[in-house]
Structure 1
Amino acid sequence: LFTGKFLASAARGFVQTFILLILAYVVFQLFTPFSFLIILLIALVFAAAASTLGLIIASIARTEDQATWISVFFTMATVMLGGTFFEITEGSVLYLFGKASINTYVNSAFKTMIIRGGTLTDVALEIMVLTAVIVAGLIISRVLFRVMPGGR
Structure 2
Amino acid sequence: MSNRTGRTATAGFAAAIALFLVPASAATLPDDRTWLVRMISCKGNGVLMEVYLPQSVVFAPHGGMAAGKTADGFYTLDLTELNKGKDLEPAHVTMSADKKSVTVDQYTRGLPPTRIPVGGGTVDFDQRFGVGAKCGAFQAQDPNYGN
Q: What is the TM-score of this pair, normalised by structure 2?
A: 0.25
- Structure with the higher strand share, 1 or 2: 2
- Structure with the higher helix share, 1 or 2: 1
Q: What is the TM-score of this pair, normalised by structure 1?
A: 0.25
Q: Give the number of the structure whose alpha-carbon radius of gyration is greater.
A: 2
Q: Highest relative contact order (Cα 8 Å, sep 6+), 1 or 2?
A: 1
